[in-house]
Structure 1
Amino acid sequence: MMRSGVILGIVLLVAVAAASSALFTVRQTDQVLITQFGQPIRIITEPGLHAKIPFIQTVISFDRRLLDYSTPGEEVILSDQRRLIVDSFTRFHITDPLQYFQAVGAQEDAIRARLNSVVTSALRRVLGNETLLAVLSADRGHIMGLIRDQVNKEMSGFGVAIEDVRIRRADLPEGNTQAILNRMKSERQRAASQARAEGAEASAKIRADAERDRTVLLADARATADKLRGQGEAAAIATSAAAFGRDPKFFTIWRTLQAYRDGLAGAQSRMIVSTDDDFFKMLREAPATPTP
């Protein structure tokens, strides 16, 4: 009786162990590959509680989330023969657990060594056709798209999809930094000198045009002033002639009085003339009153 109880207890323990080994949980962030004696038999992508044959089948979980991998700094020669130390990172996710298992095995880290060589090769190929200015400009997004497409094509047989490849840091080698900075400084100085020369030339042209316009305007103004002055003097002469013609005697008296005013107005004015001179005739005798 006691012996049968022990046997029953052993059977119960084996049953519990078998049941616990037969049931497993798939998380929402995982995808599972079931193998039997090392051979893959099925893939489970739905989360929840699932069953397998205990002690015979093995559960291998793969993360279905976006994974990151950073490559160490690599020296790349650009098309303009400049060198860059490039650090990059790659984002990928496992799309086919069976293909991934057949290519690199059950460990997720196994893919990283392959990614390192593929990403490095793609960086060298694509950046080798680009200049430093292109890598540092807004064209970098297009360049990284080309690198991503090449990496995705080469990694298509590993059950992974490459979502993005980005340059995290691009530095000049220590030995070339100062030389390149000096060259860039010389180029900027040359461009500044050229800009100053072009500015001075434009300034001189503007000043010359302004001086020419000024000369033309002044000449036109002088010509117009001389013309108006001549017209005024002609009008004054015509007016005087008309007035003289209307009353020559009055005009003579008026001009004589003006000469007296201009010649004798000053306190220090002195004139040495004969008293019989016609200039003082009106001072000696009043002019005759004209007959109406």
Structure 2
Amino acid sequence: MFRIAAIAIAVAALVVWMSTFTVDERERVIVFSLGEIKRTDLDPGLHFKFPIVNNVRKFDARIMTLDIPPDRFLTSEAKNVIVDFYARWRIDDVGQFFRATRGDERNAQDRMAQILRDGMRNEFARYTLDQVVSGERITIMGAVREQALDTARELGVTLVDVRIRRMDLPDEVSESVFSRMRAERERIAQDFRARGQEQAERIRADADRQRTVIIANAYREAEQIRGEGDATAAAAYAAAYEQDTEFFTFYRSLLAYRNTMVGKDNFYVLEPDSQFFRYFQDPMGMGRPREQ
């Protein structure tokens, strides 16, 4: 009896195990009934099935990465570009995915890779090499994704994103491109230098003009001040001369003696009756020098 009970419990456990299955929130599930799709996209948790009649296929519902080998694409200038890109995708309609690919993820990836290559080829043919290198890649990737969305839906998947990982030029193209880029940069640099020199000349000319104007104004003011000073000095001399004419004359003669009689070996050739010696003969300066 004990053995029969144990066998019955084991059979019941086996039946229960074969009649139940669990669904993880990271999975998409298809329940088949005699090879035909019965149910899809079950909620996460514990579910029941009929043993032998039903079987279950599970697929990853997370976002997956499709790495596409680098390939060559022609630009509108018929120049080759080697592009390494990838795509992110996930299964959206698991029933349609199974019908389109028989549940083979590799088959789905191959078909999506071909679709994306065709889209890349079409988009790169619309742009020049400079546009592709300088910043049109985001536009290209968006267009490729939009073109591939309808085909991806036919596979039961959602194309989340398409990104370029790396973009290189073939060796035969790289040197010519770099030479053209160097020439372009040199042209831009020369243009900036020319503009800088023009601006520098303009600044120097303006500075020279301002300098000339400032010097002229300063010279004019200096001459004006000097004239006013000379006029004031002349007025002071005239006023002093009018106060004591004889003393002023005597003082000027002393200044002349001091300024001319300097040193020991000075010689002067003057007439004896010159007014220069008037105060030597007459302290009052009224007489004339005696003849020698």
Same fold (TM over 0.5): yes
Structure 2 residue 251 is the aligned partner of structure 1 residue 257: no
- Counting only pairs closer than 5 Å after superposition, residues 4-19 of structure 1 correspond to structure 2 as 18-19=15-16
In the other structure, the counterpart of 1:100 is: 97
Structure 2 residue 232 is the aligned partner of structure 1 residue 225: no
1:112 CA displacement: 0.8
In the other structure, the counterpart of 2:146 is: 149
- TM-score normalised according to structure 2 size: 0.85
In the other structure, the counterpart of 2:289 is: none
RMSD value, Cα: 2.9
Q: CA, structure 1 residues 233+38, in 2 after alignment: closer, same or farther (shift >3 Å)?
A: same
Contact 2:41 2:94 (8 Å CA) reproduced = no
Out of 177, 184, 189, which is 2:186 matched to?
Answer: 189
Secondary structure of 2:98 counterpart: helix
Counterpart CA distance in 1 for 2:269 and 2:11 is 161
Counterpart CA distance in 2 for 1:217 and 1:132 is 57
- Number of residue equivalences: 284
Deviations 1:234-279 (A, max 9, x none): 2212221222222222221111121121122332222233444332
Aligned residues with identical type, % of pairs? 35
Counterpart CA distance in 1 for 2:43 and 2:54 is 18
Deviations 1:13-42 (A, max 9, x none): 877665543333333322210112321111
Counterpart CA distance in 2 for 1:200 and 1:232 is 47
Counterpart CA distance in 1 for 2:52 and 2:270 is 156
- Counting only pairs closer than 5 Å after superposition, residues 1-292 of structure 1 correspond to structure 2 as 18-79=15-76, 81-137=78-134, 140-287=137-284
Runs of 5+ consecutive residues of structure 2 not aligned to the other structure: 287-292
- TM-score normalised according to structure 1 size: 0.85
- Range that drifts further, 134-143 or 188-197: 134-143
- Range that drifts further, 65-74 or 213-222: 213-222
Contact 1:99 1:157 (8 Å CA) reproduced = yes
Q: CA, structure 1 residues 270+29, in 2 after alignment: closer, same or farther (shift >3 Å)?
A: same
Counterpart CA distance in 1 for 2:285 and 2:176 is 110
- Range that drifts further, 264-273 or 221-230: 264-273
Amino acid across the alignment from 1:188: R
1:97 CA displacement: 0.9
Q: CA, structure 1 residues 288+27, in 2 after alignment: closer, same or farther (shift >3 Å)?
A: closer
Runs of 5+ consecutive residues of structure 1 not aligned to the other structure: none
Amino acid across the alignment from 1:107: D
Counterpart CA distance in 1 for 2:55 and 2:259 is 136
